[in-house]
A and B are shown apart, each in its own frame.
Chain A
């Protein structure tokens, strides 16, 4: 694949590492926002290439992890109906609800399907006019354009048996809420490259200015991440704060205007519950008035099920960069990817799951 090998080149990574060592004079904490970046950092062992004085904090950017338990319960309730074909991305199937998960519902004989793209659901809806086809629309700004297009197409094609169960979250409000908390430890951010390929990075300039914090929009390959860290360190050491774009091959300042227009047409900004973090104002999307007929929560009129998180779980603090997985007494014993207790263990992009997978069980850094 074009450029992938170059951006994974170990010699370049080593040289970047040396440059970071030379540039670092003080202790710094840098948060990568996106779960995909956390996963790459652990997969390639990038923390081992950094000086002891740089601590990476792993952020809240995994939509699977932060989808509230209550919503998983709603998905399970909808999927457990004979008249429904429930469609989802594969990584939502194993997320435990209070009683069951979607894989369990499928095992009970209900029609739960993994789709590659939300557009696949439209073909399913066309071919099954006697069923309600429901898509579990989870994701950050990266996924919103795809989900928005599926709803818009359904309306254009007059598909009355398609709806979405929405749990969309957005990045800037959660970054702001981390920076506003009294115990915040983050001194610089690696910005989410793929989110910015849709939304651009203008919004991050206001955050950087207001909180006087460096934000470097960063890609996902090892050299991308190391260059992002280097650029953060250079700003921190110089006492500067601005937004830089390391990922210019895929991200423009304005983002993708066509995609943004469709997202704005189909969705309205709304307050959202985040698993482990609680409600964050204006941190998500809900279907707009014109598309409300496609809202599965309206169609199925589910009771609110109050779901409780296990008291032992510290994922809320992990999502804000205050604690690391090894500080949780349940990590790697009571709580594993097979039996996850909390947000950050439920998907492979969650911090606890990534630490577990890459053997960082006794990791203290």
Chain B
């Protein structure tokens, strides 16, 4: 139940005074509440849980983790 999944914000709209977005999860599109990520914009990836975006995925951090993982592999080949 605590699993959140990443999706791409396609467009933002307002409903009952809260910011909402159409978010694309690999083809499946869902209405998602953006109230907790007020700085999110179209084109951002957000981590979504039960219809709420909880964080914007930090691309730099994602890439630096991947780099660390790849470096671990290269280390082992020496």
Contact = CB atoms under 8 A, between A and B. Distances in A.
A192 B4 CA distance: 12
Contact of A143 (B2, B25, B31, B66): B2
Contacts of A230: 72
Interface residues of A, number: 60
Given A1-B26, A146-B52, A250-B57, 7 more contacts: A16-B72, A18-B76, A19-B76, A149-B18, A149-B52, A227-B68, A250-B54
Contacts of B47: 194, 197, 250
B1 A119 contact: no
Nearest 9 CB-CB pairs, A to B? A117-B51, A15-B73, A249-B62, A248-B61, A249-B61, A259-B36, A36-B3, A142-B2, A146-B52
Interface string B24-63: 0110001101011110000001010111101101110110
Contacts of B16: 122, 153, 156-157
A220 B50 contact: no
B58 to A, nearest CB: 5
A142 B45 CA distance: 18
B26 A347 contact: no
Contact of B2 (A6, A12, A61, A249): A61
B51 A120 contact: yes
Interface of A: 1-4, 6-7, 11-12, 15-16, 18-19, 22, 34-36, 61-64, 89, 91, 116-120, 122, 138-140, 142-143, 145-146, 149, 153, 156-157, 192, 194-195, 197-198, 220, 223, 227, 230, 246, 248-252, 256, 258-259, 262, 347, 349
Contacts of A64: 1
B2 A63 contact: yes
A12 B51 contact: no
Contacts of A2: 6, 8, 45, 57, 62
Interface of B: 1-8, 16-18, 25-26, 30-31, 33, 35-38, 45, 47, 49-52, 54-55, 57-59, 61-62, 64-66, 68-70, 72-73, 75-76
A250 B68 CA distance: 16
Majority secondary structure of chain A interface residues (helix, strand, loop or mixed)? helix
Contact of A139 (B2, B8, B55): B2
Nearest to A195: B2
B2 A119 contact: no
A118 B32 CA distance: 11
Nearest to A259: B36
Nearest to B30: A116
B3 A149 contact: no
B54 A256 contact: yes
A36 B2 contact: yes
Nearest to A141: B2
A349 B1 CA distance: 8
A138 B72 contact: no
Contacts of A256: 36-37, 54-55
B36 A250 contact: no
A116 B7 CA distance: 15
Contacts of B18: 149, 153
A194 B2 contact: yes
A88 B1 CA distance: 12
Given A2-B45, A145-B36, A62 B51 contact: no
Contact of A194 (B35, B51, B54): B54
B1 A12 contact: no
Contacts of B5: 1
A10 B58 CA distance: 23
Contacts of B26: 1
Contacts of B1: 35-36, 62-64, 89, 91, 138-140, 142-143, 347, 349
A197 B4 contact: yes
